[in-house]
Amino acid sequence: MVAGEHARVWAREKGGTSVVASRSRFSFIGARILRALPLALALLLTVLAAAQASAAPHAPRSVYAQGETTAKSWEFERFDSDIQVHEDGSFTVRETQVINFTGSFTFITRDIPTRSAGFDEGRTYGKVRVKDVEVFNLDGTPYDKEMWEADSYMGGELIRIEFQARDEQRGWIISYRMKGAMIYAEDYDRLYWNAVSSDRPVPIKSSRITVRLPDGTDMSAVESVEYYEDSYGGSHSSGRDGDALWWEAQNIYPYSTFTIDVSLPKGAVQKPWPYRASTMWLMLSLALAALLAAVLVMLSLWLWRGRDTYGGPMPGVTYGPPREVRPAVMAMLVHQEPKLDDVGATVVDLAVRGKLRIIDEAKQGRPGPSQFVFERKDPSEDGLLSYERVLMAGLFEKGDRVGEDDLRVGNRLASIMGGIRQEVKKGKFFNDDPEKTVSTYFRYALAIILLPPTVFFFLRFATDLGYVWLLLAGTVPAGIAVWVIAHAMPKRTALGSRIYWQAMGFREYLKTAEAGEPESMTLQTFQENLPYAMALGLAERWSALFAGVLTTPPDWYAGPGDFNTMNLNSSLSNMGPTIYFSGPPSSGSSGGSGFSGSSFSSGGFGGGSSGGGFGGGGSSAG
């Protein structure tokens, strides 16, 4: 053995590795790596090329590699449209699409736009809409509903059909109904339609367009314009078969359409029913019926539930108010709700009863508003109703003699008004709370006024309303009528009716009395009735009866200059706002015809251009 061989034998026997053996192994591995390096570089370049190819944009119809076409392209063998025009101006389109697929495809789309056409003469009625979309196999059987869908969007309808195809011919029939796309002119009606999709990257080998007109159409009066030749690269022809018109074209270029233009004699189609004169009169009749029905129902409810229960004779003129109730309570029996003027009448009533004194410090002969001071005369609450106590607390919160800046009534108005309501409720003058009764009918009125236009607003997105909007001419006044009659619905009890009619008799007396008529033209008569006259809104009339008769002021009032009842009334009128708005305010204080026309551009009948009509849209596959 040579030395090297002995070393390797020794290494195997001892289980170790000699230096010589290690060098031999490294030499062997290095040779293998050198031989594999070109193959690894080639593999790396292949992977990089594939990655670059996958990142490159796809060609719309096919992908090219080394000068040859890969198996990925498509084109229309046929794109036929059969159009049935209906008497109501809509028309149904059945598109037969036969497509040659090279490579693997899983879907096609058909985009049907709802944009308006361009024309000069005539108009359309309603929005352009796509309805009743269906998809069939070429033999007429329905295509699997799970394999297609139609989605509406702002500008039209998008239909997507799914399938599995590889290197084969497939076809479908797409059916849909168009509304709002018929043009109505004075002497004719017009179908102006882009019969094949224009937004399409592939050609159409052949297309046949058939238009079927409604039964009874005078075909001798039908005119049509030849399709627009700038859309085609091959031959074309047209003709008539009975009541049907047809056109045929071959080799339609990508991104071009096939436009037909047909003039129909008047009477062949009608306006959509929402826009007919008969519909207008029907809607006006229904509107009037709705108004009359609302009035009759409310009057019936008033006779049944709202009429007062007072059984005695209606009193005539009475010479005094119903003193068994305070002026503010009497006023609510008349008006059914408290008013701001009732607060001023209550202040004067408290003054007449000796609870306070009113001083108008305006300087005589000097222009400017009155300046009021109030003095408390009786600090006890004897004989005061709940709302009167709240009023007194607001007047004299800062002391027993206060000026306008010290008043704190404004932020107590809600409590004062609520107290007046409570006194009416405690007195059992109404069968129910008048505010609650009126509010209930107000909600009914609001529903009648607002519900129909709200429903119509949302319906207009799905259908054309036209003259149906005229129903609002009845529903809105009907709601107003319900609201007006609702104010007569609170029902007074027998006691409330008696006091009400006595107040109404006193109001009639105030309106008709002449100076010198009152049996006793005394200061006592004047001041006792003054708060009630204020609550009825006739204080000026009552003061005029005593003008020139009374020259001495009552002890509860002091004002500038010589006393006169008319000056007193003017002063008290100025006092009201001073009280109502005194103090920091409280957040709780309160007391179309529906037509949709088309855009106009160039061309009447026969004057359009390729792609200028309704329809068109796009097609794609992938």
Quote the tokens at residue 4. 């090297």
Q: In the Cβ-directed half-sphere of 228, how many Cα atoms lie within 13 Å?
A: 23
Euclidean distance between CA atoms 418 and 424, whole angstroms: 10
Confirm if 413 and 580 have CB atoms less than 8 A apart.
yes
Mean per-residue pLDDT, 232-244: 77
Q: Which of 11-20, 367-376, 437-446 has the highest mean pLDDT?
A: 437-446
Euclidean distance between CA atoms 542 and 558, whole angstroms: 19
Q: What pLDDT does 48 receive?
A: 45
CA 498 to chain centre: 48
Q: Is the pLDDT reported for residue 584 higher than 90? A: no
Q: What pLDDT does 227 receive?
A: 59
198: domain CATH number is: 2.60.40
Among the ranges given (35-39, 164-168, 529-533, 609-613), the one the predictor scored with the smallest mean pLDDT: 35-39
**Per the domain annotation, does 104 fall within a domain?**
yes
DSSP letter string, 528-594:
HHHHHHHHTT-HHHHHHHHTTT--S--TTEE-SSS--HHHHHHHHHHHHHHHHT-SS--TT------
Euclidean distance between CA atoms 393 and 385, whole angstroms: 12
* 370 and 225 assigned to the same domain: no
**Per the domain annotation, does 389 fall within a domain?**
yes
Q: What pLDDT does 228 receive?
A: 58
Mean per-residue pLDDT, 506-513: 88
Strand spans (E) along 182-320:
182-184, 188-194, 204-212, 223-225, 236-241, 244-252, 259-265
Helix axes 340-352, 523-535, angle to 10 degrees: 160
Q: What pLDDT does 588 receive?
A: 40
Q: Is the pLDDT reported for residue 395 higher than 80? A: yes
* 84 and 219 assigned to the same domain: yes
Euclidean distance between CA atoms 86 and 16, whole angstroms: 100
**Per the domain annotation, does 61 fall within a domain?**
no
Confirm if 102 and 115 have CB atoms less than 8 A apart.
no
Euclidean distance between CA atoms 218 and 404, whole angstroms: 89
Euclidean distance between CA atoms 396 and 409, whole angstroms: 9
Widest CA span in the chain: 165
Euclidean distance between CA atoms 272 and 93, whole angstroms: 18
Euclidean distance between CA atoms 116 and 621, whole angstroms: 26
Residue 616 — very low, low, confident or very high, per pLDDT cuts 50/70/90? confident
Mean per-residue pLDDT, 405-424: 90
Q: What pLDDT does 210 receive?
A: 94
Confirm if 261 and 606 have CB atoms less than 8 A apart.
yes
**Per the domain annotation, does 300 fall within a domain?**
yes
* 250 and 349 assigned to the same domain: no
Mean per-residue pLDDT, 302-321: 78
* 362 and 456 assigned to the same domain: yes
Among the ranges given (328-337, 504-513, 574-583), the one the predictor scored with the smallest mean pLDDT: 574-583
Euclidean distance between CA atoms 136 and 443, whole angstroms: 51
The residue count of the chain comes to 622
Tell me the whole-structure pTM to 2 decimals: 0.62
Cβ contacts of 8 within 8 Å, gap of 6 or more: 18, 20, 21
Mean per-residue pLDDT, 599-605: 37
Mean per-residue pLDDT, 598-619: 61
Residue 109 — very low, low, confident or very high, per pLDDT cuts 50/70/90? very high
**Per the domain annotation, does 64 fall within a domain?**
no
* 407 and 266 assigned to the same domain: no
Q: Is the pLDDT reported for residue 26 higher than 70? A: no
**Domain final residue pick, 241, 271, 301:** 271
**Per the domain annotation, does 463 fall within a domain?**
yes
Q: Is the pLDDT reported for residue 590 higher than 60? A: no
Condensed to tens digits (0 to 9), the pLDDT of residues 203-233 reads 999 999 999 999 888 888 888 876 554 555 5
* 264 and 291 assigned to the same domain: no
Euclidean distance between CA atoms 480 and 609, whole angstroms: 53
- Give percent of the chain above pLDDT 70: 79
* 262 and 310 assigned to the same domain: no
Mean per-residue pLDDT, 605-612: 62
Is the pLDDT higher at 207 or at 615?
207
Residue 11 — very low, low, confident or very high, per pLDDT cuts 50/70/90? very low
* 298 and 419 assigned to the same domain: yes
* Segments forming the whole domain that contains residue 194: 74-271
**Per the domain annotation, does 6 fall within a domain?**
no
State the Cα torsion 454-460-466-468 to the nearest 10°. Answer: -40
Residue 286 — very low, low, confident or very high, per pLDDT cuts 50/70/90? very high
Q: What pLDDT does 434 receive?
A: 87
Condensed to tens digits (0 to 9), the pLDDT of residues 340-365 reads 889 999 999 999 999 999 998 875 44
* 103 and 151 assigned to the same domain: yes
Q: Is the pLDDT reported for residue 607 higher than 80? A: no
Residue 94 — very low, low, confident or very high, per pLDDT cuts 50/70/90? very high
Mean per-residue pLDDT, 390-410: 91
Mean model confidence pLDDT for the chain = 81
The tally of domains found in the chain comes to: 2
Q: Is the pLDDT reported for residue 8 higher than 60? A: no
Mean per-residue pLDDT, 318-325: 90
* 566 and 427 assigned to the same domain: yes
Q: Is the pLDDT reported for residue 414 higher than 80? A: yes
**Per the domain annotation, does 92 fall within a domain?**
yes
Q: Is the pLDDT reported for residue 452 higher than 80? A: yes
Which contacts (CB < 8 Å, 24+ apart) does range 512-516 have?
512/317, 513/545, 514/545, 515/544, 515/545, 515/547, 515/549
Q: What pLDDT does 606 receive?
A: 57
Mean per-residue pLDDT, 244-255: 91
Mean per-residue pLDDT, 376-402: 93
* 219 and 328 assigned to the same domain: no
Pairing mode, if any, of strands 259-265 and 223-225? antiparallel
Nearest one of 375, 341, 357 to 554, comparing CA atoms: 357
* 511 and 382 assigned to the same domain: yes
